[in-house]
Amino acid sequence: MSEIQSIIKSRAQSLSARLTAIRRHIHMHPELSFEEFETGAFIERTLAESGIASTTVAGTGRVALIHGTKPGSRVVGLRADMDALPIEEAADRPYRSTVSGKMHACGHDVHSTCLLGAAIILQELREHFSGTVKLIFQPGEEKLPGGASLMIAEGVLTAPKVDFMIGQHVMPQLPVGVTGFRPGLYMASTDELYLKVIGKGGHGAMPHFNIDPVTVAAQMIVALQQVVSRAANPAIPSVLSFGKVEAKGATNIIPESVWLEGTFRTMDERWRAEAHERIRNIVDHTAQAFGARAELEIRKGYPFLQNHEDLTLRCKSLAEAYLGDAQVEALGIWMAAEDFAYFSQAVPSCFYRLGVRNEARGIVHSVHHPQFDIDEDALPIGAGMMSWLAISVLNA
């Protein structure tokens, strides 16, 4: 183990109690996407305690710089998201959410805490690295258009220009102490589908006088699955799912319309655009065939996330040196989406996973679950890892 690696590990562990307190404060005071005013102010105050000045970007986000004292001009960006979800926390913990209907169920409190911990460590170790670390505390990951896109539009990747981006995200499937990496294609693009099928309502016993939007919607759902099963290249991961179907009729009432909401996800931009056209054609032609009408909105979301091959392999190797080979796993493709993808499309990036699972303590629930929690031993690991990766990439 190198001297700097040993210093980082020791300093991260000594911060454990403080990191736990920071995480619990953020967890107890969740704010939804683009409403992170108090969270941003808390982050600003915490950075200031270590002598780190920050500026506001994208309304509620914060950005700060830490300059190494060794000669060098590289800039590495470290990103954490800050927003919570509209979920009522179900578990009874002393640090449960104090805000009804809002909860940090995706670990963004953890991400912000780990980046604050990394900031404290990096500020103390400036003589050990060259170049600059740009700390990016991002709002609105959970809501389109995504805070990453807004921060990029406001110049977060410039002045100084960012050469590499690193992001860390909790993963409840990985035990605490384990991290996961995947070079290349990792996460999917995400588009939201909003569809209204309009027919002619009436008595259920007299369907010949009506145009039944329920059966038309059913035909559409079945037909649209062929976009993935028959039109898509099997080598390109694709998913089309409808999670909401609302028909406000009754046992003997055919409704006037049916409302559907769904998602389309893939990992190829050309196919993504083609699939959108196929979805529109199937919806329009199916409606026409049955004498109905359809109104479809495809709300384009985040692009696919592609980790830079060389940078990610380098970070994986660094993680093995920091944690041990057995504590670093190779990840598979994941069809969830993340607006860190905007960073990955702009500069060489590495988005990796931090294990937070502890089955012995019942910490097993997935993200977006009302009982989601983490083993807080992950906090100094996450803070130390971000510090180690940033210093190592800058000094390479």
pLDDT at residue 24 tops 80: yes
Split at pLDDT 50, 70, 90, the class of 167 is: very high
pLDDT of amino acid 191: 97
CA quadruple 9, 15, 21, 25: dihedral sign: negative
| Res 97 pLDDT > 90 | yes
- In contact, 170 and 113? CB cutoff 8 Å: no
So what's the pLDDT on residue 244? Answer: 98
How many residues belong to the chain?
Answer: 396
DSSP character string of 282-344: HHHHHHHHTT-EEEEEEEE----EEE-HHHHHHHHHHHHHHH-GGGEEE---B----TTHHHH
Show the 3-state SS of 194-250. Answer: EEEEECECEECCCHHHCECHHHHHHHHHHHHHHHHHHHCCCCCCEEEEEEEEEECCE
What is the predicted pLDDT for the residue at 2? 87
- 10 Å Cβ neighbour count for 177? 18
Q: Tokens for 17, please give them.
A: 């109690």
Using alpha carbons, select from 20, 168, 162 the residue that is nearest to residue 106: 168
Instruction: Give the strand order in the sheet containing 54-57.
Output: 54-57, 61-67, 130-138, 70-81, 164-175, 349-357, 179-181, 328-330
What would the mean pLDDT of 338-344 be, rounded to a whole number? 98
Instruction: Read off the pLDDT of residues 342-356 as tens digits, 9 standing for 90 and up.
Output: 999 999 999 999 999
Active site members? 83, 141
Average pLDDT of 70-87? 97
Q: Average of pLDDT values for 361-388?
A: 98
CATH 3.30.70.360 in the chain, residue ranges:
191-300
* Fold entry, domain 3-187+303-395: Aminopeptidase (3.40.630)
Residues forming CATH 3.40.630.10 domain(s) in the chain: 3-187+303-395
pLDDT digits (tens, 9 = 90+) for 54-76: 999 999 999 999 999 999 999 99
Q: How many CB atoms lie within 10 A of CB 353?
A: 21
The top-level CATH class assigned to 191-300 is alpha beta
Cα 11 from Cα 119, distance rounded (Å) = 12
Q: How confident is the model at residue 300 (pLDDT cuts 50, 70, 90)?
A: very high
